[in-house]
Amino acid sequence: MKSRRTFLQHLTMSAGILPLALSQTGILQAMPKPYISQVPDGPVLKVALMGLGSYADRVAKAMQDCKRAKITGLISGTPSKLESWGAEYNVPENSRYNYENFDAIKDNPEIDAVYIITPNAQHHGQCLRVAAAGKHVICEKPMSINAKEGREMVEACEKAGVKLLIGYRMHFEANTLNAVRMRKEGELGDIRFFQGLSGFRIGDPNQWRLDKDLAGGGAMMDIGIYAINGARYMVGEEPIWVTAQEVKTDPVKFKEGVDETITFQMGFPSGAIASCLSTYNMNYLDKFFLNGEKGFVEMQPSTGYGPIKAKSHEGDITKPHVTHQTTQMDQMAAIIHDDMEPEIPVDGQEGLKDMKIIDAIMLAVSSGNKVKLDLV
């Protein structure tokens, strides 16, 4: 066998060696994180979903396949949704809340964490209230509408002694982790360039995503953040500068403060550069390309709900597809209950770094200047 890693990889894929058995021998702790495909057995994370919209519906359905996370609470401003979701997911009436009374979760032992899946501008206040109630916070991205709010969320959770996790589902996706592994193990050589294309043509002009008061912006907050975050974990460094340019072809649909299309560039300490596009006005944009002196990795689609399709200079990459939100919630249960450290962070500091970059991109757009970053 070529290495202990190769031996362990084959061992865990063969006839059912359980993570628990491995942990008892001390092997699990020594295994490289990308090869840990399952979380160890342990307590179930009891989750209240806040904001019962379309993405919460996707999360709820995915959680039915979770081994370590289950829906035990609901928070919504729509009574009919509380009733129908409560019946569908077997959530009793005393674990259903609205936005006025959900602070009472502090007295509910059947809720460990709240997954905030509401419009972006509401994340900050809701996070502070959940933390004050002594519950862990899982917040959908973007964590807030600016770095100031993000920093206050991190501080509130630290003060309350609860964890703050951001819904970066791609951080647990198998093809993504394989690309990161290839870069870390030197298979690509020194990284030179990253391209991230993130966009789609948005529909209903009256939806909350095009309302600055609710969304905090436009495409950058919703879809461009994938390219920002992806550049960081694919390159493996924190950017030190950004430049950016905005194009707006429909000022009626994309009002003041709601960005339609932004191209942006980032520079990294090693000299690597990233060139990215965020848009609400073009379809078929879901691509990551990472170039190194020895090889490349390309993912297209790169951040959609799956399956993710990837290839490298060595050929196609075909890791098995598992519903992203199922894996995410099981892994987050292990992070909260077992203090597991994921291969790519999903904590509040990770989310805050993306907010600092978005703030800098918007400053670069308005000023036309290169903006320096200090994320370390």
The Cβ of residue 302 has, within 10 Å, a number of other Cβ atoms equal to: 27
Assess whether 305 carries a catalytic annotation.
Answer: no
Catalytic annotation, pick one of 46, 70, 135, 141: 141
The Cβ of residue 10 has, within 10 Å, a number of other Cβ atoms equal to: 10
Distance of CA 226 to the CA centre of its chain: 8
| Token couple for 155 | 């501080």
Assess whether 141 carries a catalytic annotation.
Answer: yes
Q: Which long-range contacts (CB under 8 A, 24 or more apart) does 359-367 make?
A: 359/146, 359/147, 360/242, 361/220, 361/228, 361/242, 361/244, 361/262, 361/264, 362/217, 362/220, 362/244, 364/242, 364/243, 364/244, 364/264, 365/244, 365/245, 365/246, 365/259, 365/262
Catalytic annotation, pick one of 115, 226, 233, 280: 226
Running DSSP on this structure, what letter comes out for residue 16?
Answer: T
| Token couple for 236 | 């493996």
Dist CA 300 CA 330 (whole Å): 25
Q: Pick the closest to residue 188 from 26, 313, 281 (CA basis).
A: 313
Query: In sequence order, what DSSP letters do the residues of 53-102 get, joined into one string?
Result: SHHHHHHHHHHTT-SSEEEEEEE-S-HHHHHHHHHHTT--GGGEE-TTTG
Dist CA 86 CA 71 (whole Å): 10
* Cα–Cα separations (whole angstroms), residue 360 to 152, 241, 296, 348, 353: 18, 9, 28, 18, 11
Cis bond before residue 142 (omega within 30° of 0): yes
Dist CA 185 CA 295 (whole Å): 12
| Token couple for 167 | 């819904």
170 SS3 class: helix
Q: Pick the closest to residue 187 from 110, 272, 92, 291 (CA basis).
A: 291
Would you name the residues annotated as active-site residues?
A: 141, 226
